Amino acid sequence: MPVSSSTPVGSVSFYPQEAGLSWTYLGEGETPGQPAYTLRTLGPTLFQSQPVLASQLTGRGADQTWYRTSDEGGVLLLGFRKPGVTVTLSPAWREAPPESAWRVGLNWEGSSQIVVLSDDGKEQARGTLRYRYDVQDRREVRTPAGTFTVYVVTRQISDDVGGLFPATQQYWFAPYVGEVRTPEGLLLTGRNFAARGGGR
């Protein structure tokens, strides 16, 4: 079971992942007062026998948990879980570069073997996932949660197991804040920690 924490976090890392953090989101164009999506960092756990950090998105029937590690090379996604299925990625999918690498014009790409397992452990699909990220802009944006300086990133994904992901998505990343706009088109409306260097 993931370890949860309700202890306030006074400072967060460049890629926020400390247990107890949370963010709320609404879809682009939605008005305040709509039911929000909530992303929470759950803390350390094990995924496929490997130590990872878990985060979970819930709301409006959504329930997805991601399992990641991070080091000086950036952030790696080892897999994720949705109701009924667990998806593993080998080698891990590089979601973010080293902290010092961020700049407009940066790109990175890779591929992973993807395996989809049902809750009873039976393999449902296996194939290859390919991804590419392009940092297209750095700009100031206004959201219901405030004003942030973000990197605008486009990611392109293809796989041969039935298209688990949209082919092209754009998200906004702010250091020490996280995703201000998610790849799914959700805009940040609130967070439970004080940012530094990314918002005001």
Res. 10 pLDDT band, cuts 50 70 90: low
Q: Find residue 171's DSSP bridge partners.
A: 153
Q: Which of 46-55, 162-171, 184-193 has the lowest mean pLDDT?
A: 162-171
Write the single-letter amino acid at 5.
S
Q: What number is the average pLDDT over the span 66-89?
A: 96
Mean per-residue pLDDT, 22-29: 95
Q: What is the mean pLDDT of residues 21-39?
A: 94
What does the angle CA 47 – CA 173 – CA 128 come to, to the nearest 5 degrees?
45
> Position of tokens 């296996």?
126
Look at residue 65 and give its three-state secondary structure.
Answer: strand
Tell me, what's the pLDDT at 3?
39
Across the range 95-112, mean pLDDT stands at 98
Distance CA 157, CA 142 (A): 28
Q: Which residues pair with 130 in a beta bridge?
A: 111, 158
- The string of pLDDT tens digits covering residues 104-129 is 999 999 999 999 999 999 999 999 99
User: Higher model confidence: residue 162 or residue 42?
Assistant: 42
The answer, yes or no, to whether the previous bond of 91 is cis (omega within 30 of 0) is yes
> Which band of pLDDT confidence, cut at 50, 70 and 90, is reported for residue 199?
very low
Q: Note the Cα 197 to chain centre separation in Å.
A: 20
* Model confidence, pTM: 0.89
Architecture of the domain spanning 22-191: Beta Barrel (2.40)
Mean pLDDT of the chain: 91
Q: Is 184's pLDDT higher than 80?
A: yes
For the cut 90, the answer to whether the pLDDT of residue 193 exceeds it is: no
